[in-house]
């Protein structure tokens, strides 16, 4: 991982922007997916 980041550090700004975009979108989707699971589980739990 450290090596990958080091490679990106020497890449062009556009390549860095693409990397941030991929990481950012995955991060937002994954975090909101976690909140989704939280709400669904809470809903199931609430019905009992």
Partner 1 sequence: MQDVFIGFTSITWKMLVMYGIGGILIWLAIKKQYEPMLLLPIGFGAILVNLPLSIAWEHEGVPGFLRILYDAGIANELFPLLIFIAVGAMIDFGPLFRNPLMIFFGAAAQFGIFATMIMATLLGFDLKTAASIGIIGAADGPTAIYVANKFARDYLAPISVAAYSYMSLVPIIQPPVIRLLTTKEERRIHMPLHEKQSPQWLRILFPILVTMTAGIVAPISVPLVGSLMFGNLIRESGVVERLSQIAQNELAYLVTLLLGITIGGSMSAEKFLNWNTMLIMAMGLVAFIFDTAGGVLFAKMVNLFLPRERKINPMIGACGISAFPMSARVVQKMASEEERGNIILMQAIGANVSGQLGSILAGGLVLALVPLLVK
Binding pattern for the stretch 1-40 against partner 1, x by CB under 8 A and - elsewhere = ----x--xx--xxx-xxxxxx-xxx-xxxxxxxxxx-xxx
Rule CB under 8 A: choose which of 3, 44, 46, 48 binds partner 1. Answer: 46
d(CA 42, CA 20): 32
Give yes or no for residue 48 binding partner 1 (CB under 8 A): no
Shortest spacing between CB 38 and partner 1, in angstroms? 6
DSSP codes of every residue in 7-38: HHHTS-HHHHHHHHHHHHHHHHHHHHHHHHHH
């Amino acid at each position: 991982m450290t090596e990958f980041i080091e490679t990106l550090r020497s890449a062009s700004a556009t390549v860095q922007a693409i990397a941030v975009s991929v990481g950012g979108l995955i991060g937002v989707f994954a975090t909101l997916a976690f909140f989704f699971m939280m709400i669904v589980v809470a809903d199931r739990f609430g019905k009992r």
